[in-house]
Amino acid sequence: MEKEENQNNTSIDPNQDTVKETEKPDENLDTENKKETDQEPKEEIKEPTPEEKIAELEDKVTRTFAEMENQRRRFEKEKNDAFEYGGFAFAKEALNLVDNLERSKLILENDEKLKETDALKKTLEHLEVINKDLISIFTKNNIKPIECLNKKLDPNLHQAMMEIEDNQKEPGTIIQEIQKGFMIKDRLLRPSLVGVSKKIQKEDEKPKENKENLNK
């Protein structure tokens, strides 16, 4: 009896082993399939040819030289501007001296107590000498006044402050200089403040225009 039981037991055990063994290959297949799906196809990296490398280097060198040339030109221009117009701010401030001299002359000329006195004449003469000396110094440093009287208004050089009725001059002609303008070489230091002419409108024309507007 014992032999039969042992035989029965041995017959069962192989079946169990075969079941376990059949399960193992399935697991291996799953892991292999996962590995295959996880691995993506790699793109082939194409190495540049020597000719392409040389062309790329030549392009970089050309760009570098172009940038260096642009910088050199910019520095050269800045250096020239600093040399030519370095005193621009100083010259603009110095014009206040000319303005103050002109104001002083006007105040003295309009003073009723000083009119037609020797003291006034001598003072005005001294102020005129100082003014001429200043203009001479400016001229030596390429700072020149703008001539504007009896010329057409130029927005690049003049600034109109008022309109003055005058039929003898063409409209837009400068007939009064309020403040003198100056140039430093070919640059505007400050514009001339001027008064320009305009046609005189007759009183007879105004009622006619009003009547025409009413009729319309």
Domains of the chain, by residue range, sit at 61-141, 143-201
Equal fold, 61-141 vs 143-201: no
Output the pLDDT for position 40: 53
In whole angstroms, how large is the CA radius of gyration of the chain? 49
Residue written as tokens 């603009």?
Answer: 92
Output the pLDDT for position 166: 83
Dist CA 53 CA 61 (whole Å): 12
Dist CA 95 CA 138 (whole Å): 9
For the entire predicted model, the pTM comes to: 0.55
Output the pLDDT for position 84: 65
Output the pLDDT for position 210: 55
What architecture is domain 61-141? Alpha-Beta Complex (3.90)
CB atoms under 10 Å from CB of 142, counted, come to 15
Encoded amino acid at 11, one letter? S
Give the model confidence (pLDDT) of 11-54 as tens digits: 444 444 444 444 445 555 455 555 555 555 556 677 878 888 88
Q: Return the closest-CA partner of residue 89 out of 176, 169, 187.
A: 187
Q: Which CATH number is 143-201's, of 3.90.550.10, 2.30.22.10, 1.10.10.10, 3.30.590.10?
A: 2.30.22.10
Output the pLDDT for position 158: 93
pLDDT, mean over the chain: 76
Tens place of pLDDT for every residue, the chain, 216 residues? 444 444 444 444 444 444 444 444 555 545 555 555 555 555 667 787 888 888 888 888 888 888 888 888 887 777 766 666 667 788 888 888 888 888 888 898 888 888 888 888 899 999 999 988 988 888 888 888 998 888 999 999 999 999 988 888 888 899 999 988 999 888 899 999 999 998 887 665 555 555 555 555
